[in-house]
Structure 1
Amino acid sequence: MQSDWSLQPKHVDIFVDEKDLRNNIEALLKEVRPLWKPAEIKLKIFTDGITNKLVGCHVDQDMEEVVLVRIYGNMTELFVDRESEVKSFQILHAHHCAPELYCTFQNGICYEFIKGTVLDMWLLRKPSIFRLVAKEMAQFHSVQPDNGYSSEPVLWKNLSMYLTLLNSSHSKLATGVSSMDMNDVPSFDILSSEIEELKGHLSQIKSPVVLCHNDLLCNNIIYIEAKGDVKFIDYEYAGYNYQAYDIGNHFNEFAGVSELDFSMYPPQEMQVEWLKSYLEVYKECTGSEPEVTELEIQKLYVQVNKFSLASHFSWGLWAILQSRYSTIDFDFLRYARERFKQYFKKKDEILALQLPY
C-alpha cells in the first residue's frame, strides 16, 4: 500500500503575480475552496518574510478556516529544492508534525493554517515554551521517512552550492556588488578555506544525521496554548542533516532576524535544560534507554555549539546570494556581515571545546 505522502499533491497551473494578487488568488481558491464566493474572500498579508510572501485567505470573520498561500521569492529556486520541500511537507504531515498541503501552483504552495501564537525572542526563552520546542524538535528528528529520501546531510551540499553560485560568472556576485557594500564580507578564497576547515573539524564529532527543519527561527514556531503544544511551520530547508546543526541553528535564532542581538544566544545553563528535555523525548521516540545522563547532555552541548558555527556560515552565504536576487526589502548584506562577524568572533573559542568521554 502506498503511503499518502508519496502521492503527488494536486497541482494548479496558475502563476500568482503579486501585481494582480487578488485575481490570481481567487482563481487558485476556486480550485481548492470551490464553495467560497469570490466577493466574500478576504486576504491578509501575514508576513513579508525574508524569503517569500505569505497570504492568509478566509471568508468568515473569525478566521476559523484560513487557507495560506505562499508565493516563492524571486530566484529562490536557485537555493531551495522545491521538490524536496513538498516531499518533506507530506512526510511530516503523515507523522502529525505538519499541517495539510492543499496544492502546489507554479510559484508557490497552498496549505492549512495553524491557529496559535507566533513565537518571539522573549517567548522563546520561557522555560515552559522552550521545553515544548525541545520536545517537538525531538519528535521531528525521530521521523523515519520511507525510501526515496536522500539521507546524506544537506549541510555540505548546500555550502558547496552557495559557493558555486557566488563564484559563477552569470551571478557576478564576486565582482558585481560595490566594494563598499562588500566591506567586512570575507573574500571567496577565505570562504572556501573556512568551509574546508569546518568540514574537517565537524566531520570528526559524529553528530547523528536525522530529518531536520534547518530553519527554526521564531516565526516558524507556533504556540498552541489551548493544547499546550508547539508546531513548526515552513519546510523549505527541511532535509536530512546533522542533529546538532538543527539545534545549534535554532539557538542562533534566539538573536532574532531584523536586528541581530547575539547577547540573546542561550547561556549554558539554559542550553543544558533545553538539551535535557530534548534528549528525554528523542531517546523515547527512538527506543533508547529513557534515562538521560550528564555525559550525554555535555556531549550534545559541545556538538551543538560547534555546529552553530556552520549555521552562521551557511546563512551568511545565503544572505549574500539573497542580496543579489531578492526583491524583498531587507538589508541582506548587513545580515551577512553580522553572521560572519559572529562566526569569526566565536570560532577559536568554540573549536577549542573538547567532547567529554
Structure 2
Amino acid sequence: MANYIHLPPGSPEVPRLELTVLESDYREGALRLLKELRPEWRPEEVTTQGWGPSNLILCLLFWGVRYIVFPVLPPFRLIARRLAKIHAIHAHNGWIPKSNLWLKMRAYFSLTPTEFPDRLVHDRFVRDVPNRAVLEQEMAWMEVALSSLGSPVVLCHNDLLCKNIIYNEKSDGVQFIDYEYSGYNYQAYDIGNHFNEFAGVNEVDYSLYPDRVLQLHWLRDYLEAYKQFKGVRAEVSENEVERLYVQVNQFALASHFFWGLWALIQAKYSKIDFDFLGYAIVRLNQYLKMKPEVMGLSLPE
C-alpha cells in the first residue's frame, strides 16, 4: 500500500521483461511470458483460464502440476506461514517503515462519485450507500482508533483473497500472486483483510468469516512462524495470540471500508462487467454491522 520499498545495498537486481499481455489475447501473451520464465514448458501442453473483477488473473496447468487458484483455501497453516514470511522481510535498511493506509483511503474517498448518469443506479447509490459526511466521519474515527492499537508496520500483500493464493499439490506448498497493492502496512490489516476474503467476491457470504476458534489456531501458527523468520527464540504466549486477535478483527473494519471506497470508484469508471456498486454496498454494510461487535473487544493487559 505504500509506494516505497527500500532494499539493502548489494541486493540483486530485479529482472525486468519488456513484454505486454493484452486482455484481448491473453493466451498468446501468457505463452510469450512463459517462454521467458519457463522455457522448458511446451506450449501445446499448457492450458489457460482467465478471470478477475479488477484485473485478469491467469490459471496455468502443465503436465499435471496444478499451478491453480483453488476455490477452497489450502491448509491454513501453509497460508499463515507464508504470510508470516512476507511480513518478516526486513528490506528497509534501518529505515522505520510507515503505513500510508489512511492517506490512500482519503485519496480513494476523494475519488468516490457523488452521482451516476443512470437514474436507477443513482437511486440505488443514494438509498444504500452512506452519505459523504458519514463516510468521512467514520474514516476519521478509524484512523484514530486503529492507529492506537500498536500493530507493527510490515511488508504486506494487502489483497490476499482466495484467488490470489496458489496451491501446488505436488509440493504441498503455497505461493501468493497479484502484488499490485503490496507495500508497508499494518500487520493486523493484512491478516484482517485475508479473513474478510473468506466470504468471497462474486457471491459474498460473511457466514464464512472465520470464527474465534479457527482464528486463534491460525494466529498461533502465524506468530510461531513470524518469530521463527525474525530469528526470535521465544514461545508464543496466550497474551500475544489474544492481542493479535483483537487487532486483526478491529483492522478488518478498515479492510471493509477501503474496498468499499474502491468499489464505488470502480462502479463509476470500470468497464468490467461486475456489480461494483452492489459490492461496495455489501462491504460498507458489513463495516457498519461489524463495528459494534469488534470494537467491544479489549486488548489484554
TM-score exceeds 0.5: yes
For 1:189, the equivalent position in structure 2 comes to: 133
Q: For 1:173-322, list aligned pairs within 5 A.
A: 173-177=113-117, 178-182=121-125, 183-322=127-266
Deviates more, 1:331-340 or 1:26-35: 26-35
Which letter maps to 1:180?
D
In structure 2, distance between residues paired with 1:30 and 1:254:
30
For 1:153, the equivalent position in structure 2 comes to: 99
Which one has more relative contact order, counting CA pairs under 8 Å at least 6 apart? 2
Distance 1:164 1:233, change over 3 A: same
Pick one of 9, 13, 20 that aligns with 2:16: 9
Q: Deviations over 1:308-353 (max 9, x none)?
A: 0000000101111111222221111111111111110111121121
Contact 2:85 2:225 in 1 (8 A): yes
In structure 2, distance between residues paired with 1:340 and 1:307:
14
Q: Percent identity?
A: 44
- TM-superposed CA distance for 1:184, in Å, is 1.1
For 2:110, the equivalent position in structure 1 comes to: 164
Distance 1:227 1:192, change over 3 A: same
Which letter maps to 1:3?
S
Unaligned runs of 5+ in 2: 1-8
Structure-1-length-normalised TM-score: 0.72
For 1:343, the equivalent position in structure 2 comes to: 287
The number of aligned residues is 288
Q: Look up the SS of the partner of 1:227 in the other structure.
A: coil
Contact 1:47 1:53 in 2 (8 A): yes
In structure 2, distance between residues paired with 1:229 and 1:22:
26
Q: Look up the SS of the partner of 2:123 in the other structure.
A: coil
In structure 1, distance between residues paired with 2:134 and 2:264:
15
- TM-superposed CA distance for 1:217, in Å, is 0.7
For 1:91, the equivalent position in structure 2 comes to: none
Distance 1:289 1:328, change over 3 A: same
2:86 pairs with 1:140: yes
Q: Look up the SS of the partner of 1:240 in the other structure.
A: strand
RMSD (CA atoms)? 3.0
- TM-superposed CA distance for 1:290, in Å, is 2.9
Q: Look up the SS of the partner of 1:247 in the other structure.
A: helix
Q: Deviations over 1:29-72 (max 9, x none)?
A: 59848989xxx668855222011123568xxxx7359xxxxxxx
Which letter maps to 2:189?
Y
